[in-house]
Structure 1
């Protein structure tokens, strides 16, 4: 995936990548999203296939990689959406999808992204998910695009499988806990 000048990349795993891609495209299509691809990251096999990743033996997660315009949408906003659109409290599963390929993870590309991911995750864990978040925050390694038929899968197959845990939860805005209590 090429990245236009000034654009940035974000990579997340939140269960079955079809629903994750579909939700991000719907939410950010006219709000900073330049492109989105589904693929595999976080494992040790070279050029993994869907079948190999689904076996749970490659170590890869089904993931989404987005290219976005940081002038229109912030990395923080993309991560807050990530935590609202899946259940980050279930290790290696989302709904009926079970295995390490369905884990919740943020794959950061820069030290700044790492810090933002840790900050957002801490706030989300305290304020929304009440101490239950199991999301991994790890450096982005080698990315592998998923096969062509997986890209835009739910657009091409509107009645295709969508994980029941992928829906937008209604949480209040995150509070900035760096301000004194009297200002919250």
Structure 2
């Protein structure tokens, strides 16, 4: 069956004009890492606190990754394919897989239950065969679980979501996670990549490092304007600090 992909691939920046101007002013200064946000990427030390992994499907994985990337306790995000039988699926040949996001998180900071709350609030679990303008089986709603306790939490959360309205059925599936296949590099941190000056600001990381970067995960959510308001403001403040350093040097040009 042919699947209709209607999501926009417009790459024009959507950040506020003032922020775009800030990046333009900073562009030349990021050759000196002292002017950039990232000197190297600061990955939380979790040696004594093993990370956990959760996988969700909630429509277009470009947006899904941005939804989770900004949350405190989320260390990194990866988009990919899950829930189907096709081996080694690709973006143009998914088979019966769904677009999904893998979330690596510190369970001492954020819990699976809290991630479920974000899952439910970030899409329409009652929409059948798609999300918004994106039409196709690959956009179906799924909670993937690892073990009995996660399955129980997912079921309880689904029942709670259903009680919010009896006029329509929550279509979300709850499935044991099989193989998660990471998507092609061009789909990782897609929202961040729509803003080349943000990439410049963090040092133009190589693709592999960008995919694994905690900072890139956070900025991916910031670029999509999907961070919690407090975190969005924190990043704005950091950029403003860099601006204050850059402006005196610009005055001497």
TM superposition score normalised by structure 2: 0.57
- Alpha-carbon RMSD: 2.1
Alpha-carbon offset, residue 158 of structure 1: 4.3
Q: Which residue number corresponds to residue 146 of structure 1? A: 183
1:43 aligns with 2:84: yes
Gaps of 5+ in 1: 160-166, 169-184
1:99 aligns with 2:136: yes
Alpha-carbon offset, residue 132 of structure 1: 2.5
- The separation in 1 between residues aligned to 2:69 and 2:166, in whole angstroms, is 24
Q: Please state which structure has a larger fraction of its residues in helix.
A: 2
Q: Which residue number corresponds to residue 57 of structure 2? A: 13
Which 4+ runs in 1 deviate beyond 3 A?
Answer: 128-131
- The separation in 1 between residues aligned to 2:87 and 2:74, in whole angstroms, is 28
Kept after mapping to 2: 8 A contact 1:92/1:100: yes
Gaps of 5+ in 2: 1-45, 197-225, 228-253
1:56-79 Cα distance to aligned partner (Å, 9 max, x none): xx1100000101111000101100
Structure 1's 86 and 129: CA in aligned 2 closer, same or farther, altered over 3 A?
A: farther
* Structure label with greater radius of gyration: 2
Kept after mapping to 2: 8 A contact 1:12/1:63: yes
Q: Please state which structure has a larger fraction of its residues in strand.
A: 1
Q: Which residue number corresponds to residue 223 of structure 2? A: none
TM superposition score normalised by structure 1: 0.77
1:146-184 Cα distance to aligned partner (Å, 9 max, x none): 00110100111149xxxxxxx79xxxxxxxxxxxxxxxx
Alpha-carbon offset, residue 124 of structure 1: 1.4
